[in-house]
Structure 1
Amino acid sequence: MTGRVVHTGQAIVDVVMRVASIPAPGSDVFASDSALLVGGGFNVMAAARREGAPVVYAGGHGTGPLGDLVRASLRAEGVEVLLPAHPGLDTGFCVALTDDDAERTFVSTVGAEGHVPVDALDDVVVTAGDVVYVSGYSLLHPDNAAMLARALPRLAGDVEVVVDASPVIGDVPEAALRTLLETATVWTVNEREVRILGERVLGELPAGAAPQEIGAQLAERLDTVVLVRVGPGGCWVARRGQLAMLVPGIAVTAVDTNGAGDAHTGVLCAGLCAGTPLEEAVTRANVAAGIAVTRPGPATSPTAAEITARLAR
């Protein structure tokens, strides 16, 4: 079985700068390195393509130099672009600061990717084996949230709907969150995000609740798979009626954590649409994220051959 990854998120442009530390308010620092790169949802799509999956970008893109850069990068990775360019807006951008501890801080704008027409996915047909990817960031844009509220109930059913909660899941409006809760088949979250999502779905949580415990409770309540990424420790897999299981990660020296979660999710989606068993797909996703953090930049997911070679070691 080989399906497609249908990506409904946002590809934007990253203005990436490496700094010793995040500057204090009112100060000025010089970056030791900088680059203008396509990022955001592109990172997930590039990871899925490098793992061998067909990918369709069903998100917005703009008319202008940044939109041109996004389309060129998507073409280079072999991603099919579904929608026409927005006639009046360019693609948005994000300033991404990476410090000497490999942590990143973002300041983002919103462009054409945040203004997708409500009927944009009306003609999209999905079949068994396809994976629909949804980002929590989409729910912060009213136009995109309305589009997903209209499209997801129709698209869900015979396909996997993978929701990448993202750091903004706590800010998603209640009605938009309800759309995800009703259609998601797989949630992927990090340690911070699982607690935020848990508090929204389950109510107040004990201060010392472990990420895998919260993931297991969410899996029970939502009747979905919940994946909790715990950095180099790997990823907890929680299913309804089962104990959460840890799929280990790999030991690496991180130089840039920007895009690690995207690499993980892209490879995971590629595995699911290829019919790979979940634990095996998560294992490959863990390796992809581990390799990605050893490379500077946002879209640093490895190829399928690199993942296989690392597993063989």
Structure 2
Amino acid sequence: MDLANFRPTHLKSLASGLVDQVTFVPHLPTPGGDVLATHSFSQVGGALNLEAAASRLGLKAQHCSPIGNGPRADAIRAAMAIEGVETLGIEEYSSGDSGLCITLVEPDGQRSFVTISGAEGVRSFSELEQYSYEEDAWLVVYGYELVYPTSKDAFLELFASGLIKSNIVFDPGPTTAELTPEILDWVGTHASLISCNQSEYEKLAPHVSPECWLLLRKGAEGAELWHHGKVVASAAGRRVNVVDTNGAGDVHTGAFLAALAQGNDLQASLELACRAAEYSIQREGGCTGPTWKELLALS
């Protein structure tokens, strides 16, 4: 695809929304041990991290995933309404409450997860085929949906159906090691853009077509944009006070997509994405992407 000149009208996300229980700890507990947390809070996360980041920067975001019924589902709907994210999830296919992610954050901002899937993790082809997959949209897919035993087969059927006309953005996330070769081969040859960190890319690399754009996030070192085996753009990181890296990769990706949609070139979009991620990691919790006013003040 011609990434530099692609101007999508919106972003559709098939990724899961759930509630994060964010807990700050001095260190991870040893096996069989315990650790006293400093503080903890609940916040909507998952797919909303990226969707909100894009929406705050002017790219219309649509959430195409069941939300469920229950207190966590209610919190997700309320948070998405506040962020201006349109919810298109087909609720007749969902049952029970939405999932929960226990997020442990260490003093250096590193985060570890325990995910308990809920209604968002139960997908069927009957649900997925009812969404439209327009050519003028980004379609966001996360690794989680391709790992959950209650959704993986539905996504494989969708991939084989030929229904997807949108440009796919794939973020494998922490589930990279659990993705099957079959899934990695399909994603590597059909995704227009893969957004990942260095360790995730090492698993993906043998499966990725040179036609696919790679947004390689390198933490404090910044980020690189690759195409056909070459670095097309690079942006250096800036030293900031790291509080919490939870959702920073999602903010980076959402900001990059929104910046491109606003007409910025590849280099400028990458730099803006890095600034957005730096803004995010200086704050607790997910969904901490900046507005345009806040972002431009950092650039």
Aligned residue in 1 for 2:56: 50
- Alignment RMSD (CA, Å): 1.9
What SS class does the counterpart of residue 174 from structure 2 fall into? coil
1:237–1:26 distance in 2 versus 1, CA, 3 Å: same
The question of whether the paired residues in 2 share the 8 Å contact of 1:6 and 1:132 is answered with yes
1:144–1:191 distance in 2 versus 1, CA, 3 Å: same
Count of aligned pairs? 291
What SS class does the counterpart of residue 170 from structure 2 fall into? strand
- Which of residues 186, 190, 193 is equivalent to 1:179? 186
- Which of residues 75, 78, 82 is equivalent to 1:76? 82
Aligned residue in 2 for 1:60: 66
**Structure 1: segments with no counterpart, 5+ residues:** 202-217
Aligned residue in 2 for 1:130: 137
Aligned-pair CA distance for 1:95: 0.7
- Which of residues 10, 16, 19 is equivalent to 2:16? 10
Work out the percentage of aligned pairs sharing the same amino acid: 31
TM-score, reference length from structure 2? 0.90
1:123–1:117 distance in 2 versus 1, CA, 3 Å: same
Aligned-pair CA distance for 1:119: 2.2
2-structure distance, mates of 1:156, 1:43: 23
Aligned residue in 1 for 2:100: 93
Aligned-pair CA distance for 1:87: 4.7
2-structure distance, mates of 1:52, 1:155: 27
1-structure distance, mates of 2:8, 2:74: 30
TM-score, reference length from structure 1? 0.86
Aligned residue in 1 for 2:237: 249
- Which amino acid in the other structure matches residue 113 of structure 1? E
2-structure distance, mates of 1:243, 1:42: 29
**Structure 2: segments with no counterpart, 5+ residues:** 1-6
Aligned residue in 2 for 1:265: 253
Aligned residue in 2 for 1:103: 110
Matched, 1:112 2:119: yes
The question of whether the paired residues in 2 share the 8 Å contact of 1:43 and 1:259 is answered with yes
- Counterpart mapping for 1:107-256 below 5 A: 107-152=114-159, 154-157=162-165, 159-198=166-205, 200-201=206-207, 218=208, 221-240=209-228, 242-256=230-244
Aligned-pair CA distance for 1:150: 3.5
Aligned-pair CA distance for 1:30: 2.3
1-structure distance, mates of 2:127, 2:257: 22
Aligned-pair CA distance for 1:26: 2.2
Deviation digits for residues 186-238 of structure 1 (CA, Å, limit 9, x no counterpart):
1111011111212x53xxxxxxxxxxxxxxxx5xx441111111112111111
Matched, 1:33 2:39: yes
- Which of residues 280, 299, 312 is equivalent to 2:268? 280
